[in-house]
Chains A and B, each alone.
Chain A
Amino acid sequence: MQTFILRRLIIGIVILFVLSVTVFLLMRIVPGDPAIRRCGLDCTKPKIAQIHKDLGLDKPYFPVELRRGPPFVSFSSDSQYGTYMSSILTGDLGTSTFNQKPVGPQVIDRMPVTIEIMVLTLIFTIIVGIPFGALSAVFRNSPIDYVVRSTSVLGLAVPSFWVATLVLVIPSDLWGYAPIIGRKVSLINDPIGNFKQVAPAAAVLALGSAAGVMRLTRSSLLEVMRQDYMRTARAKGLTQSAVVIRHGLKNSMIPVVTVLGLQVSGLLGGAIIVEQIFTLPGLGLFTLQALLAKDYDVVQTMTLYAGATVVLLNLLVDVSYAWLDPRIRYS
C-alpha cells in the first residue's frame, strides 16, 4: 500500500508540474495584457513597460528557451516560470497582478466558504443520492422507482446556474425572502445564519450530483443484488433491509465512491457558478475574477490548488477501494 501511495504521489507531482507549465503558457498565450488593466486611461507605452517590469513580465518565460537561430538555446537564471515555481516551493503563492496583494492570504480568506459549500454539497449529495438510489433499486419498476428516476433525469438536465437563479429570485419575488447576500456570515459566531447563507448554494450544486449518484447507486445496487452472496444472505434468513444495507449497499459503493471523488473535484468548477450567483466570497468567485482580469499568479495558484485537490482525491478514492472491498489489494 505504501509503495502504491508513494508511486501515486510521484505521478501526482509530475501531473502538477505539467499542469503548471500548461496553465502558465496558456495564460500568456491568450490575448490581453494585465498591465493594461492596471494602467487605465492615462496609459502610455512607457508606463505599460514599467508595469511589465514591476510585475516581472519583461523576463523570459522559461529558464531555457529555444531559438530559431544560433545558439538555438538560451538560458536565463531569471525567468517568469522560474520565479513563479521558486516562490511556490518556498510557500509564496505570488502577488495578485490586479490588486497587488499577496495571493496566499487571499486564498486562505476565501477557502472556508468554498470548503463549506463543498462539504455541504457532499452531505446533501450523499443523504439524498444514496438512499433514494437504493430505494429505486429495491422497488424497481414501481412508482417510487419512476419518480426517483424521473427526478434524477431532471436534476441532471437542468443547468445549475439556472436553478441557482430561480432559487434566489423566486422566494424573493414571492415572499421577499433571500439568503444573506454579499458578506460572509461567520460559522462560529452565527452557525444558523451561516447555514442559511451557504445551504441554498450547496443545495443547488447537490442537485446535479445527487441525481448522478442516485442513478449510479440504483444501477450498482441492482447489479449487486443479482450476485450469489446476496441470494445466500437472503437464504440464511436475513431481513430484506439487512440484506440491502449490510451486504448490498456496501458492495455497490465502489463506483459510487469513485464518482463522488470525481464530483468533489468537479464541485470546484460548480463553486464558481454558485459563488457568483449567491455572491459568496469563496475561491470560485476569486478564480473567476482572476481569470477575467488575467491575474496570472492567482489563476496559476488556483489551478495548481484544483489540480492538487483532484490528485489527492483520486488517491483517497483508490485507497478507499481497499476498505470497501477487502479483495482489493495494492502491492
Chain B
Amino acid sequence: MAGNYWDKLTTQRVTRRRVLQTTGVAGAAAGAVWLVGCSSSSSTSKTPAAGTTKVAPTAQATTASGVANPGTPKAGGTYTVASTADFDTFDPYIGIAASVGYFPRLYNVLVNFSALDANFRFDDLSTGYEQPDATTYNFKIRPGVKVGPNQLGVPERALDANDVVTSYERIKSLPQSNAFAFIGKWLASQTASADGQTYTLKTPKPYSFFRNRIGSGINTIVPKEALTDAVIGKLKQQAAGAGAFTLKSYTEGQGATLIKNPNYYRKDDANGGASVPYINQFDVKIITDQSAMRVAFQSGQLDSYTATNLDESNQLQQGQKYTVIKDPVNTFIAFTMNPTKDPWKDDRIRLAALYAIDRQAYIDRVYKGEAKADGLVHWPQGDLAFTDAELATLQPYDPAKSKALIKAATGQDRVTVKVMWPADSDIEQHKLHLPIWLEQMKAAGFDVTPDAQPFATWLGNYTNIKYDASLALNQIYEYPEFNLDFQHSEGPARNNIYAIGVGKLYPEIDKGIDDVKSISDHTAFVKAIKDLQRLIYSKGPTFVPIVSPYSFTLYQSRVHSIPQGIGASGLFVNTWYLDG
C-alpha cells in the first residue's frame, strides 16, 4: 500500500536512518514505503528472498519453515530492537512512522500473503475465504481471536465480522489514511453476517493486487470499541487488539514495550501446540543515530541490527557469532522525469536518460556487488521482473546511443537538464548514488543543472510535481503496483501528485496499467505485466528504478528460528525465540 510513511519522518533524517527501522524479527515494511530522506538502507525494508513457508491455502496455522538459526523453541525473554523513527500513533489507519512495523504485532488482518513467496499464507482473523465470483470475497471469521488486556477499557472478547466492518468503515472515512488507496478505492461494499462469523467484501471489479493489499499491516482490524469517538483519540498512546502482543507502555521519544498477549489464539503446531509468541516482551528503543544503534548492538543492548552494507556486516562479524541474514530488498533509488516539461516531453530524451545508466557501476561501487539491476519492476519481484538478459536488451547501458538520441532530438551534442534531489537525504545509498549518476549522465551527453534542495523543500516540490526531473526516493515496494502507477498520468497514488507518468503522453499506457490490475489468472497477469513494461520501454519510461540491493541483518546468536524469505509477512510470524 502506499504509504505516508514519511517520517522518516523527518526525524530520522536527522539521523540518516529509515522510517521503519528494524521492526523486529523479520522486520519488514508495508507494501510501499517511502523512505526519502529518512534513513538508510537496512532496516526494515528487507524483503527476503525465496520464501520457504509452504502452506496450503486456508491453512489454519502457518509457521515459516524458512528460518535462520533454528532450534528447539523456549519460552521467555525480552527481545530488544531499535527504531530510528518514533511511534506516532497506535491507530493503524493514520500511523506513518515506526508504528507501522508494529501494527502486525498488535492487531490482526483477515489473511496475509507474502508478495515474495507465493506459497506463504497466514490466515489470521479469517480461517479462509472463498470467491463466488471475481469481485466477491467471503471470509470465515476464526473463533477465539481474543482481544488482549488493555488500558482502553476494550473488553477481552473475540473479534468478529463486525469489527472488520467497523475498521474498514473508518478507513473509508479517512482519505488521508494509508489504507485508503485500497479500502477507499477498491471496497465497493462489505457486510457482516448476523452471527458475525462471515465477512463479505466486494470490489468494483476484479483486483489483481487484492492478495497484496488485504494483509497489509495498515489494514489491521481494531476492536470496534477502540474506534468509538470516546476512545479513538487514546490510540495515540495506547492500543487494544488481538494480535500476538499487547502494548504495555510507550514513552515519547524513547520507545515502547510490548508484552505477550495471553489471549493470543495461535499455537505452534511444529512444537506440540505450544503457545506463541515465545518471547515474553518486545522492547523497542528509539535510537536515531546509526552509529549509536550499531554500538548498542555490539554491546548486546539490541538483538538485531541491519548493517548499512556488506562491509559493515563483515566488519561486525569478525570474531563474533552473529546470525546474518542476507535478503533482497524491495527498495531502490529512482530517476523520475516530468513528461510535461522540456526536454523530457521527447521520448528520445527519456530513452537517452535510460541508456545513460550503467547499473553495474552502482552494484559495484555502492553495494560491493550485493545488488542487482532493476527494470521498471524491480528484480526482487521475481517473475514479474525481467531477467538480466532481458534488461540488457530493454535498457542497455549505451552512452553512445544516448548521445545519438540527444542529437536526433535537439540537433545538439548535449542537452541541459535541471534535476532536483534532496540535498540532506540521510539515505546513505542516495549519497552514494548521486555522484555516480551525475558522472554517467555527463558521459552520456546530459549537462545536469543541479537543484539540490533541503528535504522539506524537495518534498514539497515533489508532492506538487514542481520539477523537471528528480533523483531520489528510497522506496520499498513489496509488489509492482506502484512502480507501474508511477508511469500513469495520474501518478503513483492516482491523485495527480508526486509524478506524472508517460501515460500522460500515451493513453494506451494508462489503459494498460488499469487493465493489468484486473487480471486474475497468474500466468496472464505475469504476461500482461511484462507486456506493459515492454510498451513503456518502447515509449521511454518516466520513472526509472536503478538497482535493488541485498540487506544484511545481524542477530545476536541467542535469537533463533528467525523467519526469512517472506518479507513483511514475517511480522505476523511469532515462532522465533530467545535462548540465553
Residues on A facing B (Cβ under 8 Å): 30-33, 36-44, 47, 98-101, 106, 109-110, 165, 168-169, 172-173, 176-178, 180-184, 276-279, 281, 285-286, 288-289, 292-294
The yes or no answer to B11 lying at the interface (CB within 8 A) is yes
Instruction: Report yes or no: B253 in contact with A110, Cβ–Cβ below 8 A.
Output: yes
Contact between B11 and A289, CB atoms less than 8 A apart: yes
Smallest CB separation, B341 vs chain A (Å) = 20
B255 and A182 within 8 A (CB) = yes
- The answer to whether B14 and A288 have CB atoms under 8 Å apart is yes
Known: A98-B10, A178-B295. A42 touches B180 (CB 8 A): yes
Instruction: Check A37 against B459 for contact (C-beta < 8 Å).
Output: yes
Q: Are A289 and B456 in contact (CB under 8 A)?
A: no
C-alpha gap A98/B4 in the complex (Å): 13
Contacting B298 at CB < 8 Å: which of A101, A173, A183?
A: A173
Least CB distance, B320 to chain A, in whole angstroms: 9
Given A41-B32, A178-B295, A182-B301, A293–B11 Cβ distance below 8 Å? Answer: yes
Q: Establish whether residues A32 and B457, one from each chain, have CB atoms under 8 Å apart when the complex forms.
A: yes
Q: Is B285 an interface residue (CB 8 A)?
A: yes
Expressed in whole angstroms, the Cα–Cα distance for A240 and B252 within the complex equals 54
Which residue of chain B has the shortest Cβ distance to A178 in the bound complex? Answer: B299
Cross-chain contact B14 with A182 (CB below 8 angstroms):
no
Stretch at the interface among B152-160, B381-389, B489-497, B507-515: B489-497
B13, B15, B460: the one contacting A31 at CB < 8 Å is: B460
Cβ-defined contact, A279 with B288, below 8 A: yes
> Residue B14 contacts which of A44, A183, A276, A278 (CB distance < 8 angstroms)?
A276
User: Contact: A177 with B292, CB < 8 Å?
Assistant: no
Contact of A172 among B34, B299, B454 (CB under 8 A): B299
| 17 A/B residue pairs, CB under 8 Å, sorted by A | A36-B456, A39-B176, A39-B463, A40-B3, A41-B492, A42-B181, A106-B252, A110-B253, A172-B295, A182-B255, A184-B254, A277-B292, A279-B292, A281-B251, A292-B10, A292-B13, A294-B456
B175 contacts which of A33, A47, A289 (Cβ < 8 Å)? A47
In the complex the two chains form, is A180's CB within 8 Å of B301's CB?
yes
B10 x A176 contact (CB < 8 A): no
B113: Cβ under 8 A from any A Cβ: no
| CB nearest neighbor in B for A165 | B291
Question: Which single member of B3, B7, B177, B296 contacts A182 (CB below 8 Å)?
Answer: B296
Contact A183 to B251, CB < 8 A, known contacts A276-B15, A279-B289:
yes
* B10 touching A293, Cβ below 8 Å: yes
Q: Does B178 contact A (CB under 8 A)?
A: yes
B300 beta carbon closer than 8 Å to chain A: yes
Other than the known A44-B175, A47-B176, A277-B291, what 9 A-B pairs have Cβ atoms closer than 8 Å? A32-B455, A36-B456, A36-B463, A40-B96, A41-B32, A181-B287, A183-B254, A276-B14, A292-B10
* Contact yes or no, B454 A32, CB < 8 A: yes
| Number of B interface residues in the complex (CB < 8 A) | 60
Q: Is the CB of B299 within 8 A of A176?
A: yes
Nearest CB in chain A to that of B233: its residue: A100
| Nearest 8 pairs of A and B residues by beta carbon | A40-B4, A32-B456, A182-B285, A178-B299, A31-B457, A293-B10, A289-B11, A281-B253
- Contact B291–A168 (Cβ < 8 Å): yes
Q: Among A100, A110, A182, A289, point to the contact of B10 (Cβ < 8 A).
A: A289
B5 on the interface (CB 8 Å rule)?
yes
Give the chain A neighbours of B180 by CB distance below 8 A.
42
When distances are taken between beta carbons in the complex, the residues of chain B under 8 Å from A277 are 289, 291-292
Contact B252 A109 (CB under 8 A): yes
Bound state CA distance, A36 and B464, in angstroms? 10
Smallest Cβ distance from A179 to chain B, in angstroms?
A: 9
Q: How far is the CA of A182 from the CA of B82 in the complex (A)?
A: 8
> Does B493 lie within 8 Å of A43, measured CB to CB?
yes
Query: What residue in chain A is nearest B9 (Cβ atoms)?
Result: A293
Asked whether A178 lies within 8 Å of B296 as measured between CB atoms, the reply is: yes
Interface centre among B32, B286, B299 (most CB of A within 10 A): B299
Flag if A101 contacts B236 (CB, 8 Å).
yes
- How far does the Cβ of A275 sit from chain B's closest Cβ, in whole Å? 9
- Assembled-state Cα–Cα distance A241/B13 (Å): 53
**Contact of B287 with A182 in the complex, beta carbons under 8 Å:** yes
List chain A residues, Cβ under 8 A from B516.
none
Chain A residues with Cβ below 8 Å from B139 are: none
Q: Do residues B298 and A42 form an inter-chain contact, with CB atoms below 8 A?
A: no
List B contacts of A47 (CB < 8 A). Answer: 175-176
B254 contacts A276, CB within 8 Å?
no
- B50 CB to closest chain A CB (Å) equals 29
Contact check, B295 vs A36: say whether CB atoms are below 8 A apart. Answer: no
Contact check: which of B253, B291, B454, B463 meets A285 at CB < 8 Å?
B253
User: Given that A37-B10, A176-B299, A279-B292 are known contacts, is A101 also in contact with B252, CB under 8 Å in the complex?
Assistant: yes
Query: B460: which A residues are within 8 A, CB to CB?
Result: 31-33, 36
B6→A37 contact, CB < 8 A: yes
A286 to B13, CA, bound (A): 13
User: Are B2's CB and A41's CB within 8 A?
Assistant: yes
User: Is B88 part of the contact surface with A, judged by Cβ < 8 Å?
Assistant: yes
A183 contacts B285, CB within 8 Å? yes
- Bound-state Cα–Cα, A197 to B177, Å: 39
Q: How far is the CB of B432 from chain A (nearest CB, A)?
A: 20
B498 at the A/B interface (Cβ < 8 Å)?
yes
A181 to B293, CA, bound (A): 8
Instruction: Point out the residues of chain B lying under 8 angstroms from A180, CB to CB.
Output: 301
Which of B11, B291, B495 makes the CB contact (< 8 A) with A169? B291
Complexed CA–CA distance, A47 and B464 (Å): 13
Tell whether, in the assembled complex, residue B457 and residue A41 are in contact, meaning their CB atoms are under 8 Å apart: no
Contact with A along B30-62 (1 / 0, CB 8 A): 001010000000000000000000000000000
Within the assembled complex, what's the spacing in Å between the Cα atoms of A109 and B492?
A: 39
Contact A182 B254 (CB under 8 A): yes
Interface residues of B in 78-94 (CB under 8 A from A): 82, 86, 88-89
When chains A and B are docked, how far (Å) is the Cα of A109 from the Cα of B236? 16
Q: How many Å lie between the Cα of A165 and that of B299 in the bound state?
A: 15
